[in-house]
Chains A and B, each alone.
Chain A
Amino acid sequence: MTPFPLPLDQLFGHYGQYIVYLIIGIAFGVSLELAGFAQSTKLAAQFYFKEMTVLKVMFTGIVVAMLGVFLATGLGLLDYNLVYVNPTYLWPGIVGGLVMGVGFIVGGFCPGTSLVAAATLKIDGIIFALGAFFGIFVFGETVGLYEDFWYSSYMGRFTLMDLFQTSTGVIVLAVVIMALGAFLMAEFSEQIFGKSLISRQPRWRVGAAAGALALGIGVLAIGQPDNAARWRMLEAEKQPLLDSRAVYIHPGEVLQLMNDRRAQAILLDVRDEADFNLFHIRDARNVQMDELIPLAVDLREEPANTVFFVMSNDEQRATEAWKILVAESLINVYIVEGGVNNWLDTFAEADFKTANLLTDVQSDSLHYTFASALGERSTASAPNPDAFEALVFEPKVQLVGKRGASGGGCG
């Protein structure tokens, strides 16, 4: 398992973890102050092409952080699935961005820099921050009027790799090259509109640019782990759970959790559609094996009290699906013990079982015949838990907490 991000709440306690965030915030504040971002004139100069400090600092920051993140994910140190990627709400983001751009040139700050300005006693920074508080207040009071727009054009976790249908390495390298091009243009612009000569800029920045380019090529060269590689990283830790059958759950316990209000059970039926149509457990979703990886992106967003059960006719295909989902950083994933066949053995009526049991069966195929495609209209699809209270099983499901991104970049 990738060691990072750390499970901060488990390491330091729920409130203890906030010390880490406080230190990160302090480093952030120091960086902004050292850049001169407490000085509104320095920020506004960006928009008159005289001093491109905002662009230089921001893009350098983005490039350095991006290279660090994707080198770490490429080397298997950090799990990108557990890193918060701002969900895309395209149009609210663009409209909000335009409003902020106007606010930037009118007021001379953005929210973060105004806090640094206020902390260094710049009166304009203090007034700006008060204005920002007022703007936030007005938003809270008015968003109800156009909530439909605020939730519109939602695309979820949508990355530049998804948009351009290309690999992470290509995008990372392209961003580095673009940033270096922007820096070059910024320096020319400062020479023309401002007073700083390119020839008087320090030499080391050329070396830094070459270093960034080399690291970008490095990210491209090492690539990012695919699902199979992710499983190999986890195998030593997770294979024993399969071998000891710790994650194979008795149908009785599955039924219990389906009816437990404290948990949300999501049933993933990975059989062929034909079998699924003949019979499936109520509310089970039919998912084909090649749909699992994209689906995992959405499943990771489910609340922390969610437990996932994968099932096939017996256990073979479900076990493969379990490996794929676990490798995609999904937690609280279990397998229905004995699959749908065992479910029917446990919950179907005795008459049905004697009449419809097949004698000659292949592996991972349905052991019962159905006269018609019942889907979830069979009584065994949603057994009454009270009728099966006598079932004896050893409870195995243990919900574990999420680690990594706790939602909301500015949430």
Chain B
Amino acid sequence: MTTHVPAHPGALRTRPGILARREARPYLHPYLAGILLGITLFLAFFLSGNGLGASGGMNRLLVLVEDTIYPEHIDRTAYLSSLAGGDRNPLDSWVVFVTIGVVIGGFASGWINGRIKLETVRGPNTPIRVRWVMAFLGGVLMGYGARLARGCTSGQALSGGAVLSVGSWAFMLAVFAGGYAFAYFMRKLWN
């Protein structure tokens, strides 16, 4: 397992490997990447009327697994039943396909730009295992919070923000507020 800590994250260089045969290209300028993201989001609304999403698709994939293992539990829990109760198929939703697309698109772009690399990205002074534990804990909080807020950064902040939903803007401010308020306690993890 390679654990390469980039001296400066923006100027990441990968060593030749099985998956990346050439040097990693630099990332796109943030504003350009943002314009690309904005055009994608606009086309999503323009063509389908729906925005983007990620955690919703993850939710439904998870419910599919639960429904396979323990269908009675799904049928008894009101919230889960609305997704996969009876003969409902939890994958029968647009957001599942957007989510699968994100994984494919992420991989394709990483492949083309030589950025596929098995590694743990972490702060310069953070032991690898600490980073793993914190990644898991952060993931749990994110997953829980995203369902509580009925959407993640993609489905609420980006999508709802662009079509001017009040709840989405309040949510977005709350995410930044939560991050900045807690950043001090995590400063050793990242710096």
| Chain A residues with a Cβ under 8 A of chain B | 4-6, 8, 17-36, 38-42, 44-48, 51-53, 56-66, 68-69, 72, 77-78, 80, 82-90, 92-125, 127-141, 143-144, 147, 150, 155, 157-163, 168, 171-172, 175, 183, 202, 205, 208, 403-406, 408-411
Contact between A64 and B47 (Cβ–Cβ < 8 Å)? Answer: no
Contact between A100 and B103 (Cβ–Cβ < 8 Å)? Answer: no
**CB contact under 8 A between A116 and B139, given known A35-B37, A88-B166, A92-B150:** no
14 chain-A/chain-B pairs, Cβ below 8 angstroms = A18-B94, A24-B40, A27-B101, A33-B105, A59-B34, A88-B166, A105-B182, A106-B186, A112-B52, A131-B136, A134-B136, A135-B142, A139-B147, A160-B164
Contact between B179 and A101 (Cβ–Cβ < 8 Å)? Answer: yes
Distance of A239 from chain B, by nearest CB (Å): 26
**CB contact under 8 A between A86 and B106, given known A100-B175, A104-B179, A132-B55:** no
* B138 CB–A CB distance under 8 Å: yes
Q: A60-B38, A411-B56 given. 5 additional CB < 8 A pairs?
A: A35-B27, A41-B9, A94-B149, A409-B151, A410-B154
C-alpha spacing A84/B180, complex, angstroms:
30
C-alpha spacing A131/B131, complex, angstroms:
13
> Which listed residue, A4, A30, A66, A94, touches B164 by the CB 8 Å rule?
A66
| Chain B residues with a Cβ under 8 A of chain A | 1, 6, 9-10, 12, 19, 27-31, 33-56, 58-59, 61-63, 66, 77-80, 93-110, 113, 115-123, 131-132, 134-183, 186-187, 189-191
> Which listed residue, B93, B146, B191, touches A111 by the CB 8 Å rule?
B146
**CB contact under 8 A between A63 and B38, given known A30-B106, A101-B175:** yes
Contact between A33 and B110 (Cβ–Cβ < 8 Å)? Answer: yes
Distance of A47 from chain B, by nearest CB (Å): 4
Contact between A88 and B165 (Cβ–Cβ < 8 Å)? Answer: yes
C-alpha spacing A128/B95, complex, angstroms:
20
| Closest A residue by C-beta to B128 | A123
A39: B residues at CB distance < 8 A: 9, 12, 121
B27: A residues at CB distance < 8 A: 34-36, 42
> Which listed residue, A28, A106, A111, touches B101 by the CB 8 Å rule?
A28
**Max chain A C-beta neighbours (<10 A), residue from B144, B182, B191:** B144
B36: A residues at CB distance < 8 A: 27, 30-31, 34
Contact between A22 and B50 (Cβ–Cβ < 8 Å)? Answer: no
* Interface SS, B side: helix
> Which listed residue, B31, B49, B131, touches A405 by the CB 8 Å rule?
B49
Contact between B135 and A128 (Cβ–Cβ < 8 Å)? Answer: yes
**CB contact under 8 A between A127 and B132, given known A102-B178, A140-B79:** yes
Contact between A20 and B10 (Cβ–Cβ < 8 Å)? Answer: no
C-alpha spacing A86/B28, complex, angstroms:
30
A40: B residues at CB distance < 8 A: 121-122, 135
C-alpha spacing A24/B40, complex, angstroms:
7
A120: B residues at CB distance < 8 A: 106-107, 110, 115-117
> Which listed residue, B46, B50, B182, touches A409 by the CB 8 Å rule?
B50
Contact between A65 and B42 (Cβ–Cβ < 8 Å)? Answer: yes
Distance of B10 from chain A, by nearest CB (Å): 7
**Max chain B C-beta neighbours (<10 A), residue from A45, A83, A404:** A83
Contact between A112 and B152 (Cβ–Cβ < 8 Å)? Answer: yes
- 10 closest A-B pairs by beta carbon, nearest first, are A107-B138, A25-B101, A101-B178, A131-B139, A64-B38, A60-B34, A29-B105, A135-B143, A96-B149, A97-B174
| Closest B residue by C-beta to A163 | B166
> Which listed residue, B78, B168, B173, touches A144 by the CB 8 Å rule?
B78
| Closest B residue by C-beta to A171 | B164
Contact between A94 and B170 (Cβ–Cβ < 8 Å)? Answer: yes
C-alpha spacing A56/B29, complex, angstroms:
10
Distance of B133 from chain A, by nearest CB (Å): 9
Contact between B40 and A105 (Cβ–Cβ < 8 Å)? Answer: no
> Which listed residue, B104, B120, B160, B181, touches A29 by the CB 8 Å rule?
B104
Contact between A119 and B42 (Cβ–Cβ < 8 Å)? Answer: no
Contact between B145 and A103 (Cβ–Cβ < 8 Å)? Answer: yes
A129: B residues at CB distance < 8 A: 58, 139
**CB contact under 8 A between A110 and B178, given known A25-B98, A84-B163:** no
